[in-house]
Amino acid sequence: MIIAIQAALMCEDVQYDEHGRPSYLTVVGGGLASTSRPGIEPIHIVLHLATDRKPGAAVVTVSAPSWSEPFPFTYPGNVDITGVHLQLAVPMIEPGELEVVVDEGAGRRSAVLWRLTFPRDAEVDPDPRARLRVLELAREGAAIMRDALKDRRH
* Main-chain dihedrals φ then ψ at residue 147, nearest 5 degrees: -65, -40
User: Average pLDDT, whole number, for the chain?
Assistant: 94
Domain ranges, ordered by start, for the chain = 2-150
Q: pLDDT for 61-110, tens place per residue?
A: 999 999 999 999 999 999 999 999 999 999 999 999 999 999 998 888 99
- What's the CA gap between 10 and 25, in Å, rounded? 9
Give the C-alpha separation, 62 to 88, whole Å: 10
Which residue from 49, 59, 51, 44 is spatially nearest to 114, judged by alpha carbons? 44
Q: Quick check: bond before 38 cis, omega within 30?
A: yes
| Nearest 10 degrees: Cα torsion 32, 35, 38, 42 | -50
Q: Which residues pair with 87 in a beta bridge?
A: 44
CATH code for 2-150? 2.60.40.10
User: For residue 154, how many C-alpha atoms fall within 13 Å in the half-sphere facing its CB?
Assistant: 12
* Closest listed residue to residue 45, CA positions, set 73, 76, 3, 80: 73
What digits encode the pLDDT tens for the residues 99-145?
999 999 888 899 999 999 999 999 999 998 999 999 999 999 999 99
Tens of pLDDT, residue by residue over 7-60, are 999 999 999 999 989 999 999 988 999 999 999 999 999 999 999 999 999 999
Backbone angles phi, psi at 19, to 5 degrees: -100, 5
**pTM beyond 0.75:** yes
